[in-house]
């Protein structure tokens, strides 16, 4: 058999795996999932999956329920692992050692580990952000330091193979940034065009001076106590 007639073997697809757990915020997962879904349509070689404990409907923090496509056991080796966030249920999940262990195992097999919003708190609780620059929703940012991370107020933060986005909609920005890294800016711009991501908020940009964590400290404390009432050690760690 000559070299020209030898069978050509395609490189295996790079899997972008999103983690689903009960109570997450739908936009945290749906926004970046849509971005990577369009990438897989425009450029062969990328697959997107959603992994959870079981393939069954899971509640979110809205009236919408979602169903993962894979379990952790059936998930293909992930190129990138992305953990979405949420509110009280995500804080409660910081005490879910079974979930945290699955995140550690999957992260060890991934080239890129990322999060959206408070998903970074789960990475932090799993010990994956120690010594790294990271971000989360502004209300929860100070909690990252409780796990040895270095809180940074940026739209997304890259530290080594870990990338963490700020709150909710920042996950779309982070996903587009990663598409640019993986496939180049031309493809990333096409993805942005196809999802028509051209935000023009009706009330203009956010007034960050109004986002004073001290002003909202009672709300944060209330959420922490609600979520971790049955986990006093973790609650004390986050509130001391």
Active-site residues: which are they? Answer: 117
Give SS3 for 19. strand
User: What burial class does residue 236 get, using C-beta atoms within 10 Å of its C-beta: 0-12 exposed, 13-18 middle, 19+ buried?
Assistant: exposed
The DSSP symbol for 2 reads: -
SS (H, E, C) 125-158: HCCCCCCCEECCCHHHHHHHHHHCCEECCCCEEE
Say how many Å lie between the first and final Cα of the chain, rounded.
Answer: 70
Identify the CA nearest to 19 among candidates 62, 45, 58, 64. Answer: 58
Which residues face 113 on adjacent strands?
A: 81, 162
β pairing state of 70-71 and 150-151: unpaired
Give SS3 for 177. helix
Decide if 112 contacts 161 (C-beta within 8 A): yes
CA–CA gap between residue 158 and residue 130 (Å, rounded): 14
CA–CA gap between residue 49 and residue 183 (Å, rounded): 19
């Amino acid at each position: 058999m000559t070299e020209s007639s030898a069978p050509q073997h395609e490189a295996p697809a790079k899997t972008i795996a999103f983690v689903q757990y009960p109570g997450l915020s739908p936009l945290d997962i749906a926004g970046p999932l849509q971005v990577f879904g369009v990438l897989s349509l425009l450029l062969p070689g990328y697959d997107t999956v959603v992994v959870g404990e079981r393939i069954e409907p899971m509640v979110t923090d809205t009236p919408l329920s979602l169903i993962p496509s894979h379990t952790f056991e059936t998930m293909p080796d992930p190129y990138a692992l992305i953990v979405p966030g949420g509110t009280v249920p995500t804080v409660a999940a910081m005490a879910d050692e079974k979930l945290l262990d699955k995140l550690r195992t999957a992260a060890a097999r991934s080239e890129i580990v990322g999060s959206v919003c408070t998903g970074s708190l789960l990475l932090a609780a799993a010990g994956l952000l120690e010594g790294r620059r990271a971000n989360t929703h502004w209300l929860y940012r100070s909690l990252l330091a409780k796990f040895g991370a270095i809180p940074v107020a940026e739209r997304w933060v890259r530290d080594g193979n870990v990338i963490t986005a700020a709150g909710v909609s920042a996950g779309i920005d982070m996903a587009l940034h990663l598409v640019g890294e993986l496939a180049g800016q031309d493809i990333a711009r096409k993805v942005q065009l196809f999802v028509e991501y051209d935000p023009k908020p009706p009330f203009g940009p956010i007034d960050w001076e109004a986002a004073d964590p001290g002003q909202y400290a009672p709300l944060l404390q209330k959420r922490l106590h609600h979520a971790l009432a049955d986990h006093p050690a973790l609650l004390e760690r986050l509130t001391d």
